[in-house]
Amino acid sequence: MPNKPIRVLQVVPSLNRSAGVARVVYNWHQFHDEKRVHFDYLHHSVRNGELMHDSRYDEDLQADGSQVFTVNYAADDFCRFTREMKHTIEKIGGEYDIVHCHMPNSAFLVLREAKKAGVQNRIVHSHLNSSSDKLLHRVRNYPLNTLGGMYTTNRIACSQEAGRYLFGSKPFTIINNGIALEDFVYSKIRRNDLREQLGLDASAVVIGCVGRFVKQKNFPFAIQVFSQLHKVYPATKMVILGDGVDRNEIENAVRSENIEDAVLLLGVREDMNELYSVMDVFFMPSLYEGLPVSAVEAQAAGLPCVYSTGVPKETDITGTGVFLPLDTDMRQWVETLEKAIASGRHMENSVMLETQGYSAKVNTELLMQYYEHLIGRE
């Protein structure tokens, strides 16, 4: 009799299409073998019973046969989040061979309840090189992460830096944030079509940012830098893909720089992969990151990339990016963007990314083998 699929519960912050962790687990879902591994999902992107994001993967995953469980958003009411998370895992935890937790700050709760439910294999996955952009939250998160470690049996990270940050000297396995590389290859046809749809001139230089609208991504700073570039080159445009709780702050930043006609806030779209072809430079001045999926996507599209040093050096997989400290003066940021624009698109990047192990298909196979090793099925 053939083995039953390994049942894995992926515990994630959200299934919002603009969230990096959600895109990682969705890529796994697309390329996994259902005969070997079955995925279900649990997230807390819910407010009083209503899903918080308009563009999400929940329905797609359910249509493919996965269950999606939800609990109330932790930041709204942590006691309610704790109560609902405990109840949910008590109810369903015993059905799973593995609980794979992508929320280190909540692992003390998630994995404790998973252990009580009899789950033998309990993974914490590190996606960041810091736990928060706020000092108070970092102080709070340290003991929470330590407590989580008491219930963890295995550790995964998206990069060396993310692993060292969360796990210190403890052993961990790196699973790269792979993507469907072929979906991001530059297309001149799509570039022209989408620019026409967006009202962008074919000759305009476009600076692109991608991510959730949260403080970590530092988009108001990106807008300030672009504003200075725009003063020198009035034909330049900026495109920002994503959405989130800080949308009002970002809209205000655009207005305060008086560049409403030059900045397009496009939200979360189904064609995000194709919109990289619209861009000429990818700009990521984040406060901190693990190994951002959007940066891998941008490189796959051949874009020259400019990062802050809050982004790990490992992110520059193709060796074509530039890093600057956030306290660098504005003039140098502008000059760095100018050089990136002049460098042009790197058409060989997709092949390099595949060689370096950033194919979602390959990484999903590695993940399935990892699961099989955990439960002794090799």
CB atoms within 10 A of CB 362: 15
54-72: b or e for each residue (b if 16 or more CB lie within 10 Å)?
Answer: eebbbeebeeeebebbbbb
Which stretch of DSSP H or E encloses residue 41?
Answer: strand 37-43
Query: What tens-digit pLDDT sequence spans the chain (378 residues)?
Result: 568 999 999 999 999 988 889 999 999 999 999 999 999 999 998 888 888 777 899 999 999 999 999 999 888 999 999 999 999 999 999 999 999 999 998 999 999 999 999 999 999 999 987 644 444 444 344 444 555 568 999 999 999 998 998 899 999 999 999 999 999 999 999 999 999 999 999 999 999 999 999 999 999 999 999 999 999 999 999 999 999 889 999 999 999 999 999 999 999 988 999 999 999 999 999 999 989 999 999 999 999 999 999 999 999 999 999 999 999 999 999 999 999 999 999 999 999 999 999 999 999 999 999 999 999 976
pLDDT at 50: 83
Euclidean distance between CA atoms 222 and 207, whole angstroms: 10
Q: Strand runs (DSSP E) across 212-261, as ranges?
A: 237-241
Task: Determine the residue type at 167.
Answer: F
Domain spans of the chain? 6-178+359-374, 181-355
φ, ψ for residue 129, nearest 5 deg: -105, 15
CB 279 within 8 A of CB 120: no
249-275: b or e for each residue (b if 16 or more CB lie within 10 Å)?
Answer: ebeebbeebebeebbbbbbbeeebbbb
Distance of CA 196 to the CA centre of its chain: 29
Euclidean distance between CA atoms 118 and 163, whole angstroms: 26
* 8: three-class secondary structure by DSSP: strand
* 6: three-class secondary structure by DSSP: strand
Euclidean distance between CA atoms 323 and 216, whole angstroms: 17
Euclidean distance between CA atoms 96 and 74, whole angstroms: 24
- The two tokens of residue 205 are 């230089």
CB 114 within 8 A of CB 93: yes
CB 78 within 8 A of CB 84: no
- The two tokens of residue 113 are 């309840």
CB 33 within 8 A of CB 42: no
Give the chain's end-to-end CA distance (angstroms, integer).
16
pLDDT at 51: 82
- The two tokens of residue 209 are 């940012």
Q: State which CATH number among 3.20.20.80, 3.30.420.40, 3.40.50.2000, 3.40.50.150 fits the domain covering 181-355.
A: 3.40.50.2000
User: Topology of 6-178+359-374 in CATH?
Assistant: Rossmann fold (3.40.50)
| Strand-pair partners of 282 | 208, 305
| DSSP 8-class letter at 95 | G
